[in-house]
Amino acid sequence: MITLALMADSTASAPAAAHQHTNRPVYVIGGGPGGLAVAYALRARGMRAVVLEKSDRVGASWRRHYDRLHLHTTRRLSSLPGLTMPRRFGRWVSRDDVVRYLEKYAEHHELEIVTGVEVSRVERSADGDGWLLHATGGRELTGAAVVVATGYNHTPNVPDWPGLDTYKGEFLHAGDYRNAEPYAGRDVLVVGVGNTGAEIAVDLVEGGASRVRLAVRTTPHIVRRSTAGWAAQYTSVLVRRLPVGLVDRMARPMAKLSVPDLSAQGLPRPDTGLYTRVKAGSVPILDVGLINAVRKGKVEVVAAVAGFEDGKVVLADGSLLSPDAVVAATGYARGLEGLVGDLDVLDERGKPVVHGARTPDQAPGLYFTGFTNPISGMLREMAIDAEKIAKAVVKDRQRKRR
C-alpha cells in the first residue's frame, strides 16, 4: 500500500518525541534506479524508506530517452541489488527493458513509492535531528535522513548562444529527440559529441536524413563498446582504482590498435589522456557506429557552434551552415540549487560535494547518489552506493538509539 508519512507532531512529550525521531522514515527523492536501489537496501535492513517521485511512474527519465538507446554497460553488471536483470534482455539492455526492469524491481520488493509528489526544498528540521521536506501541495514531511536521487540527467542544458532566436529551422535539445523518422530527407546538425550526440548522429544516418553533421568542440576519446567479446566496461572496472597517469599510458596503444585514425575526417586523436578526461568529468564515447559513419563520410565532423546569425549557424571557424534542424546534445544540469542550494553542499558546478555513504560535514544525514558518471558504469556504481548508504543510515540510527 502506498502511503505518505506526515510531519511529526512537535507538541509531543520528550519520550514520545524521541521515539518519533528514531522511527521517522528515510525519504528518497527520485524514483529512478538510484532511488529504488537505496529504498530496497534500506528496506532489506529493516528501515522504512519512502520514495517520492514527481512523475506518475518510476523510471521517468528513462522513459524520455531516445528510442534506440541501449545500455553501454553489460546486463550482468547493470542489475540493482536484490533482483537480477532477466537473460532475455540480452547483453546490451534496451531502454524499454530498463523501464520494465525498474517497474518489476519496485513491485518485486514492494517498495513504498509515492508518485506525483515533487520536493522543492530540503532543510534541517526544527529539532535539529532530522530533515524537513517541502513538497507538492504544501506538504511538510520530516525524515530521519534524506537520499537525493533526482538523476544525473535532470535539467536540459542549452548554451547561451548569441542569435539563437533568429534561427528559423527546427531546434531541439537531445532530451526531446525520440527517433530519426521526422528527419528523413532533411539536413540535420547535431551539436555535441558525447555518447548521446554520437548515437543520435548515427541514428539520423540510419534513419534516412539527407545530411548529418556533428559539431565538435573537444575531440573525444572513442572506445569500442566490445572487442572480441570483451566489454569495455570490464576493463573500466579493473582500472578504475589505478593511478590516472598509468591508465592514460595503458589506453594509448589500445586506442591505436582498436580505433582507426580519423584525423582526415576531423577527429584527430585527443592530446590528453583518457582517464585524465574522465577525472575531469568527460567519459569516452562507447562506439555503436560512429567510427564507421565518420570514416565513410556519412557523418561530417565540423567545428563547434559559436552562435547564430540571420537564421544561420555560425561555427567557431567562421563557417555558416543552414541546416533544416539542430539537435543540441549539450548535456544536462543537475538542477539541485533550489532543492539543497542553501545547505552549502554543492560545488561550483552544482554537483554534490560528496556522494554515496559520505554526507557533508555540515549536513549529516543527507546523502546523494547517481551524480557521478564513472567509466565502470553508472548503474553498477549506484547499486554499490545503495548498499553503502543503507549501512551508513542504519549505523547512524543505532548510534542515536543508544
Spans of all domains in the chain: 14-154+334-401, 156-328
Q: Counting beta carbons within 10 angstroms of the beta carbon of residue 244, is it exposed (0 to 12), middle (13 to 18) or buried (19 or more)? A: middle
The pLDDT value recorded for residue 22 is: 57
pLDDT score of 231: 94
Position 42, amino acid: L
CA pair distance 85, 89, nearest whole angstrom: 7
What Å distances lie between residue 378 and 33, 369, 382, CA to CA? 10, 10, 6
Evaluate whether 58 touches 32 at the Cβ level (below 8 Å). Answer: yes
The full DSSP string for 297-335 is TSEEEEEPEEEEETTEEEETTS-EE--SEEEE---EE--
pLDDT at residue 6 in the model: 40
Options 3.50.50.60, 3.30.750.24, 3.40.50.720, 3.30.830.10; CATH of 156-328: 3.50.50.60
Distance (Å) of CA 150 to CA 220, 319, 334: 27, 39, 8
CA distance 158 to 125: 36
Query: How far apart (Å, rounded) are the C-alpha atoms in residues 313 and 325?
Result: 10
Alpha-helical regions (H) of 138-218: 195-206
CA separation for the pair 13, 230 (Å, rounded): 62
CA geometry: angle at 357 spanning 356 and 359, to 5°? 95
**Residue 169 is placed in which grid cell?**
529551422
Indicate the fold that domain 14-154+334-401 takes in CATH. Answer: FAD/NAD(P)-binding domain (3.50.50)
Nearest-angstrom CA–CA distance, 402 and 398: 7
Give the chain's radius of gyration (CA, Å). 23
Q: What contacts 363, CB < 8 A, 6 or more positions away?
A: 340, 343, 344, 345
Question: Are 14-154+334-401 and 156-328 in the same CATH fold?
Answer: yes
Interior/surface letters 251-265, b for 16+ CB within 10 angstroms, e for the rest: beeebeeebeebeeb
DSSP state at residue 50 = E
Give the three cell numbers for residue 8: 511529526
Cβ atoms < 10 Å from Cβ of 176: 12
Write down the pLDDT at residue 79.
97
For the chain, list residues with pLDDT below 70.
1-22, 402
CA distance 106 to 104: 5
> In whole angstroms, what is the distance from residue 370 CA to residue 356 CA?
9
pLDDT for the residue 366:
97
Q: What is the pLDDT of residue 333?
A: 86
